[in-house]
Amino acid sequence: MTNAYTQRHQDHQAQAQTHTANLERLLATANQLYRDRSVVVSLFDRPVTNSNVRRIAQAYQRAQQLSDVGLQHALQVLDALNASDIKNSQVDIGRLAQRLSEGTDAQQVLTDAQAQAGIGSDGATDVVLYGFGRIGRILTRLMLEDSGLSRGLNLRAIVVRKSQANDLVKRVSLLERDSVHGWFDGTVIADEDNQAIIANGQYIQVIYADDPSQIDYTQYGINNALVIDNTGKWRDPDGLAKHLQSQGVAKVLLTAPSKGDMKNVVFAVNDNDITADDKLISAASCTTNAITPALKVLHDEYGVQAGHVETIHSYTNDQNLVDNYHKAERRGRAAAMNMVITETGAAKAVAKALPALKGKLTGNSIRVPTPNVSLAVLNVTFDRAPADAETLNNFMRQVATSSEWSAQIDYTDSPDAVSTDYISAKETSIFDAKATIVSGNQAHLYLWYDNEMGYSAQVLRVAQKMAGVTTPKLV
């Protein structure tokens, strides 16, 4: 006779088998859509295409924490998508499934989403990465994830300074394996005969140069390119304009805060300021991108009267591993041994993207002995006080599940959340609800952010906007 414990065990086992079978069907259909029609499927901003069953299960578990969407609802949307003629698009079946509760069927949901989606331009824009350090290699990984799309950013070349005889092999090795983000998802080959990298079958020319003015990109078949300068060497308009003197370059995007008169863009906050005539744009800093979206929604809801931003930031390559001379104060002390107080321009930089907060924020930073993932602590005084911490948390939870902000702001209420949980997170920040403190019109808020991956994802969103190749996204 089967006792109650055995029966529960068998019931859960049967449920798990059914759940796994549904996830396998979801994965197979999504991959077929990608191969046949260049459709990239996601589930509440977590990738389904080219993923695996375990990762999709994790994405679904997260979706249940944010919404009451069931897996069967998502499968209904996926089946309708498979039966449609939609192509060259990104489709979030989780967010579309939320609309089913409104009484519409899956096909009608897709039709409505198509009508609302913006349409990108045909073809792709050539991209050159000037520099191949931490951000350059992560940008490469992100662009190659979407290389199956016939629209978007087409990585054609990287530009570096040659350092040694086996330079190419070394750079391929660093792209292939990463101490923080793990192995490259695919294959990477060094083509030494042609000085190129073959990554997931895509040919990427490696150009050795010490200065942009030395390069004629057209000889490599590169035209009207967008150069993403991730060296940080030139941060003012005059310096960056050197790229525009190169044959084959149309526009330049800087992956650092700019100096001088140049637009600093935080995607989803002020990317509408980008015009077709803009040749030079800055994507600001990782911290600016982490805090500005959250400050924007908080200001719109409660009114930010004043605030202080303290960033607990992982050490970066500009610090010393052991005590040695450094032109900046304190950064010469051993990065892996010390907490290092240093300055940050992120608080002031917020005003360039969000003028309503000009003069209202101060900021400081503490570099800590971790290689990646940082934490921004916002101490904010509001005009209109939230009732309590739960009210503010519920508001941020709704923001994180909205199609408008989900790519920038995520939400967690885990009692055990720590920094390594957010390695490789593509959202610019993750709001930690458990740490929220509200006292009257004063609030203390905590935002985790992967200062490498999250920032790089924002850079690519700005790059797509500059190039006019944003792929239609159905959400």
Can you tell me the distance from the alpha carbon of 233 to that of 227, in angstroms, rounded to the nearest whole number?
14
Within 8 A by CB and 6+ apart from 252, the residues are 226, 227, 228, 229, 240, 241, 243, 244, 279, 280, 281
- Identify residue 104 by its one-letter amino acid code: T
Residues 6+ positions from 243 with CB-CB distance below 8 Å: 130, 212, 227, 229, 249, 252
CA 246 to chain CA mean position, Å: 29
Strands 280-282 and 340-342: unpaired
Give the strand pairing for 374-382 and 442-449.
antiparallel
- Tokens 């390594």 belong to 420
Segments in 84-183 forming alpha helices (H): 93-98, 106-116, 134-145, 167-176
Q: Residues 395, 348: contact at Cβ < 8 Å?
A: no
The amino acid occupying position 299 is: H
Contact, 313 vs 364, CB < 8 A? no
- Phi-psi region for residue 119, left (φ > 0), alpha (ψ -120 to 50) or beta? beta
Catalytic machinery residues: 286
User: What residues pair up with 128 in beta bridges, in sequence order?
Assistant: 157, 227
Cα 341 → chain centroid: 27
The whole-angstrom separation of Cα 418 and Cα 412 is 11
Determine the Cα–Cα distance for residues 93 and 468; give it in Å rounded to an integer: 25
- For the chain, the maximum distance between any two Cα atoms, rounded to a whole number of angstroms, is 83
Strand-pair partners of 445: 378
Cβ neighbors of 387 (< 8 A, separation 6 or more) are: none
301 half-sphere exposure, CB direction, 13 A CA radius: 18
What interhelical angle do 286-302 and 389-401 show, nearest 10? 120
CA proximity to 463, closest of 260, 249, 245, 267: 267
Number of H helices, E strands in the chain: 12, 21
Take residue 189 and report the two structure tokens written for it: 């080959």
